Amino acid sequence: MDTTIADIVRAEWCEVLDVTSPDANDDFFEIGGNSLLAVTLVERVESRLGVEVALEEFFLDGRLDTLVSVARTAAK
């Protein structure tokens, strides 16, 4: 299931930021994201996974791997 979660988060990340090959250490805010796009991204991930993701954690550390980790935790 972790692979599926990571794939979903990456797909939504790419869609929201209009990127094709993100790195796990890419920071959402450093590569063009803003707070409105962050909310959009988290809502899309929540909708696809059927979970509630801690938005605050993503704002504190906006890396792709952080969002994957937060989504995995929420899905447990």
CATH number at residue 7: 1.10.1200.10
Number of domains in the chain: 1
Question: What DSSP string describes 45-60?
Answer: HHHHHTS---HHHHHH
Domain that holds residue 18: 2-75
Is the pTM for the entire model greater than 0.85? yes
Helix (H, G, I), strand (E, B) or coil at 63: strand
Q: Quick one: how far is CA 9 from the chain centroid?
A: 5
| Per-residue confidence in pLDDT tens, the chain, 76 aa | 456 999 999 999 999 999 999 999 999 999 999 999 999 999 999 999 999 998 999 999 999 999 999 999 999 8
